[in-house]
């Protein structure tokens, strides 16, 4: 079946223009949701910030929640990739691997605090569907940690046991620490926050191993 060519304007294909509008809308969503909050951001404000029409918005997203979900999915995909890369460092022990993974996560979120604000704060309480997606993301990150801990068990670095609940607690705890950091009037600096997270991870994992 031959694909019908799409009409181009100024040498730019319709698909490319749509992708450019989508990128501008996602950039606008990151800026406005972080600056003034998801609940206070209208579709009209998103369109104005992105310099697109409402018609073009609805060609790309069904609703305001749909663009929040797309933005959140991008944030989580980038976070997952960064943590996976840190965990893939060969033949590192627990004491070396944890700081790498924490650094990847903290850098991902706090190098641009808008991402943290959207990914940690603005997605909470939006709808049952968004909450389900948020919980799914937490469990996905927990499964990465659980898989890593299982590899340490196989190497003999940790005793054999079920690390699922520990992994969920680690991700949930980090999430709450980031939320606290974002809402404090005078938060600690990022290296201090990273060190606290590393200490908590070490305590939980080693404590679970001894239990």
Question: What CATH number is associated with residue 24?
Answer: 1.10.10.60
In a domain, 3, yes or no: no
* 153 & 172 share domain: yes
* 45 & 68 share domain: no
Report the pLDDT value the prediction gives residue 73, as an integer from 0 to 100. Answer: 96
Report the pLDDT value the prediction gives residue 206, as an integer from 0 to 100. Answer: 66
In a domain, 79, yes or no: yes
What is the enclosing helix (H) or strand (E) of 12? strand 12-13
* 110 & 18 share domain: no
* 96 & 27 share domain: no
Question: In this predicted structure, which of 118-122, 175-179, 192-196 has the lowest mean pLDDT?
Answer: 192-196
CA distance 102 to 82: 10
* 15 & 89 share domain: no
Report the pLDDT value the prediction gives residue 209, as an integer from 0 to 100. Answer: 57
Question: In this predicted structure, which of 61-70, 71-80, 104-113, 201-210 has the lowest mean pLDDT?
Answer: 201-210
* 134 & 32 share domain: no
CATH number for 150:
1.10.357.10
Question: Who contacts 42 (Cβ-Cβ below 8 Å, separation ≥6)?
Answer: 64
Number of domains composing the chain:
2
pLDDT tens digit sequence for 49-59? 999 999 999 99
Q: Quick check: 162 pLDDT over 90?
A: no
Q: Estimate the crossing angle of helix 64-87 against helix 43-50, to 10 degrees.
A: 60
Question: Who contacts 56 (Cβ-Cβ below 8 Å, separation ≥6)?
Answer: 18, 21, 47
* 174 & 91 share domain: yes
User: How much of the chain, in percent, has pLDDT values that exceed 70?
Assistant: 86
Q: Who wins on pLDDT, 166 or 35?
A: 35
What is the enclosing helix (H) or strand (E) of 20? helix 14-36
Cβ pair 136, 72 in contact under 8 A: no
pLDDT tens digit sequence for 89-115? 666 666 676 777 777 777 777 788 899
Domain boundaries, position 17? 10-61
The CA–CA distances, whole Å, from 193 to 87, 120, 158, 179, 187 equal: 20, 16, 26, 12, 9
Residue at a domain's end among 61, 76, 99: 61
In a domain, 2, yes or no: no
The band of 146, judged by pLDDT with boundaries at 50, 70 and 90, is confident
* 24 & 109 share domain: no
Cβ pair 31, 112 in contact under 8 A: no
Report the pLDDT value the prediction gives residue 210, as an integer from 0 to 100. Answer: 62
Report the pLDDT value the prediction gives residue 137, as an integer from 0 to 100. Answer: 93
């Amino acid at each position: 079946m031959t694909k019908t060519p799409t009409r181009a304007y100024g040498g730019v294909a319709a698909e490319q223009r749509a992708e450019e509008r989508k990128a501008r809308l996602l950039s606008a969503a990151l800026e406005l949701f972080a600056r003034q909050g998801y609940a206070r951001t209208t579709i009209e404000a998103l369109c104005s910030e992105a310099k697109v029409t409402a018609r073009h918005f609805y060609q790309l997203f069904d609703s305001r929640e749909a663009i929040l979900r797309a933005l959140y999915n991008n944030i989580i995909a980038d976070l997952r990739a960064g943590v996976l890369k840190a965990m893939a460092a060969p033949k590192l022990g627990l004491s070396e691997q944890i700081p790498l993974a924490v650094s990847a996560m903290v850098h991902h979120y706090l190098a641009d605090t808008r991402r943290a604000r959207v990914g940690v704060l603005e997605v909470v309480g939006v709808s049952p569907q968004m909450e389900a997606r948020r919980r799914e993301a937490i469990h996905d990150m927990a499964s990465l940690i659980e898989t890593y801990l299982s590899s340490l068990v196989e190497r003999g670095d940790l005793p054999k046991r079920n690390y699922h609940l520990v992994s969920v607690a680690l991700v949930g705890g980090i999430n709450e620490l980031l939320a606290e950091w974002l809402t404090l009037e005078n938060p600690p600096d990022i290296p201090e926050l990273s060190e606290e997270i590393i200490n908590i991870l070490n305590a939980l994992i080693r404590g679970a191993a001894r239990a």
